[in-house]
Amino acid sequence: MKYLITVALLMTSLTTLGNGLPDGHPEGGASILPADHDIPKDEFGKMVRQGQLIFSNTGQFAGAYVGNDLSCRNCHLDQGRKAGSAPLWAAFLSYPAYRAKNHRVNTFAERLQECFVYSMNGKAPPLGDPILVALESYAYWMEKNAKINPLLQERGIPQLQKPGTPPSYERGKTVYANNCALCHGTSGQGRRANDGHMVFPPLWGDRSFNWGAGMAHLNKAAAYIKTNMPLSLGGSLSDQDAWDVAYFMDGHNRPQDPRYTGSVDETRALFHRTQNSLYGHLVAGHVLGNDPVSKN
Amino acid sequence: MYKTKYFERGKASLKALLFLPLAFGTHAETSLSQPLISAGGEGSKFSEAACAGCHGNEGDGNAAEGIPRLRGLSATYLREQLQAFASDERKNPVMNSIAQTLSTDGITHAANYYAQLPPLYRPLGVKAESDNELATHGRWGENIPSCDDCHGPEGKGVGENFPALNGQPALYLENQLQAFQKGSRPPGPLHLMENIAKKLSDADIRTISLYYSGSTPMTTGGQP
């Protein structure tokens, strides 16, 4: 039903240039999203709040399915609202969709499962698990109550043009030291609050996302960094700096790809046959993927 | 208004400080292992008693005067602030004069002393969701992250560069956000705080400051 409404809205906006859309609908601008105080105070609202808790403190509220120190909100900024940080509400509107990653049409819930397997280096909550229901409810609530730009310009991560010069580990190291180490630590280990909460997520090593995550791809990492980093200063790095520092980040070891076949070469041939993945490459003295625990 | 009040009180505190060696003289003999602040040589040494005159025993701060809590802040952060006071990059008449008399060792001792004291946190509460909207959610349409995004949940501080906001006097926090706006303290690493503070209204600053001081009227949580 929701999809019918969405399609109807899309068609209306395309055919009548916005006539007939609700007042205040941002036809050309950014979508307007609901605030937390709009969450209904009923059984559905409780599930939405639970989804928000899981999204913000994933290890605490979905610990059985998390294998690292990350939370959803670490990348999906503003609790899954922010444009250009793969916002949750726009993802909700983008599924079911065919994905080259697994060669089939995935539902939104299946896409969430992948986040747990790769980005969270954990395992997939079964379909129908309250954890997935809560996250779906949170995403649906956000989308349902938003005034959405019909072109969905905020979805995913904006693509970044190829750099003028091939990305460099050494240049990336300097960019990292000057712009990233302050929060993510000199060894990419992240930083915890004084009370123990992980605040700045680890970017590589055994407590970060694994080799199967989207962020382990240079194009996605560079685009994400350019758009969103450093926090509050998104867009301040040059395109070249973003590519270089993405190369530096993804040029370190991280947890093994869960699709690992027993051979790095074979895993690379099957799942990393792209210049955007450094898996299986020799970078800074390490064959990436060979040594799942970072010693760089 | 608050800035003015702070400086007026500040002058009074400076006057009081000049008499500190007398005021704390007898107490010092029994309870202090550190020598009192004293000029001479390459600069003065750190004196817990001298600092306590304004910052309270064990660096608890003084809410009415807007004087910050020092206990539990990182040694790196405290040292950098004292150095900035000494070089006048961070402007405060009282602290500029004091920091300029301290030796390098004195600065290090002061920073280390307060860093090793355990932090104290206050329960933070809100009456309406708007009371902590900026503190816990930010305003991303203007690229303003939440304060907690960098200073940690409930502003309890993260590492050496993101000091605890929790429990600092509202007046102090308000003065600092205004100082970042005006450039009367260094802009912070990557100019992060200057950049963010300049996007905040007076009302934003007031709300954030009250929230972290623990003095926002509460409907949930305990009273400090």
Q: Residue B192 maps to which CATH number?
A: 1.10.760.10
Same domain for B103 and B165? no
Q: What's residue B192's pLDDT?
A: 97
- Number of domains into which chain B is organized: 2
Check pLDDT > 50 for residue A4: no
Mean pLDDT of A208-215: 97
Nearest to B129 among A36, A77, A197 (CB): A36
Compute the nearest-CA separation of A228 from chain B (Å): 9
Closest chain B CA to residue A232: B143
Using the Cβ of B143 and the Cβ atoms of chain A, whether some distance falls under 8 Å is answered with yes
Q: What's residue A31's pLDDT?
A: 82
Cβ distance of A191 and B159 shorter than 8 Å? yes
Q: What is the pLDDT of residues A74-131, one digit of tens each?
A: 999 999 999 999 999 999 999 999 999 999 999 999 999 999 999 999 999 999 999 9
Which domain, by its residues, includes B138?
Answer: 129-213
Residues in chain A whose beta carbon is closer than 8 A to a beta carbon of chain B?
30, 35-37, 77-79, 81-82, 179, 182-183, 191-195, 197, 199-200, 230-234
Same domain for B86 and B44? yes
**How many CB pairs (< 8 A) connect A and B?**
68
Collect all residues of chain A within an 8 Å Cβ-Cβ radius of residue B151. Answer: 193
Residue at which a domain ends, from B81, B116, B151: B116
Q: What's residue A173's pLDDT?
A: 98
Same domain for B110 and B12? yes
Collect all residues of chain A within an 8 Å Cβ-Cβ radius of residue B190. Answer: 179, 182, 230, 233
Cβ distance of A200 and B140 shorter than 8 Å? no
Asked whether residue B56 is assigned to any structural domain, the reply reads yes
Which domains are present in chain A? 2-144 (1.10.760.10), 169-287 (1.10.760.10)
Site from B144, B147, B162, B200 to mutate, A interface, most A CB atoms within 10 angstroms: B162
Asked whether residue B155 is assigned to any structural domain, the reply reads yes
Same domain for B26 and B110? yes
Contact B174, B206 (CB under 8 A): yes
> How sure is the predictor about B47, in pLDDT bands with cuts at 50, 70 and 90?
confident
Same domain for B200 and B136? yes
Check pLDDT > 60 for residue B99: yes
Check pLDDT > 90 for residue A203: yes
Same domain for B134 and B75? no
ipTM of the complex: 0.86
User: For residue A172, which of A234, A243, A226 has the smallest C-alpha distance?
Assistant: A243
Q: What's residue B14's pLDDT?
A: 44
Asked whether residue B122 is assigned to any structural domain, the reply reads no
Q: What's residue A199's pLDDT?
A: 97
Same domain for B134 and B88? no
Least confident window among A66-70, A150-154, B39-43:
B39-43
> Between the CA atoms of A122, A104, A269 and A221, what dihedral angle is there, to the nearest 10 degrees?
-60
Compute the nearest-CA separation of A42 from chain B (Å): 18
Nearest to B145 among A36, A182, A231 (CB): A231
Same domain for B134 and B109? no
Same domain for B145 and B101? no
Check pLDDT > 60 for residue A52: yes
Q: What is the pLDDT of residues B176-223, one digit of tens each?
A: 999 999 999 999 999 999 999 999 999 999 999 999 999 876 554 444
